[in-house]
Structure 1
Amino acid sequence: MATIQPILHVPDVDATLRYYRDVLDFTVDYVLPDETGRTIHAELNWRGADLMLAPTDTLSPVARSLLGAGVILYLTDPNGDIDTFYECVRERGAQIVDPIKTQEWGHRTFTVSDPDGYRLMFAAPVQEPGPSVVAD
Structure 2
Amino acid sequence: MTNGPQNTVWPCLRYDDAPGALRFLVDVFGFTERLVVPAEDGDIIHAELSWPEGGAVMFGTTRHERGTAHDEMRSGVTTVYVVTDHVDAVHERVVASGAEIATELHDTDFGSHTFTACDPEGNLWTFGTYRGAEAPELS
TM-score, structure 2 length as denominator? Answer: 0.76
C-alpha separation between the residues in 1 aligned to 2:25 and 2:15? Answer: 12
In the TM superposition, 1:31-110 aligns within 5 A as 31-47=36-52, 48-58=54-64, 59-60=71-72, 63-64=73-74, 67-69=75-77, 71-77=78-84, 80-110=85-115
CA RMSD of superposed structures (Å):
2.0
Aligned pair in 2 of structure 1 residues 35, 68: CA closer, same or farther (>3 Å)? closer
C-alpha separation between the residues in 2 aligned to 1:86 and 1:37? Answer: 30
1:6-30, CA deviations, whole angstroms, 9 ceiling, x for partnerless residues?
1101112111100101111111111
Maintained 8 Å contact 1:33/1:41: yes
Moved over 6 A (4+): none
AA of the residue aligned to 1:72: T
Maintained 8 Å contact 1:108/1:123: yes
C-alpha separation between the residues in 1 aligned to 2:99 and 2:50? Answer: 18
Instruction: Provide structure 1 residue ranges, at least 5 long, that are not aligned to the other structure.
Output: 130-136
Q: 1:7 aligns with which of 8, 12, 17?
A: 12
Maintained 8 Å contact 2:15/2:76: no
The structural deviation recorded for 1:37 is: 4.6
Percent identity between matched residues is: 34
Secondary structure of 2:29 counterpart: coil
1:23 aligns with 2:28: yes
Q: Report what 1:134 is aligned to.
A: none
Larger helix proportion of the pair: 1
TM-score, structure 1 length as denominator? Answer: 0.77
The structural deviation recorded for 1:55 is: 1.2
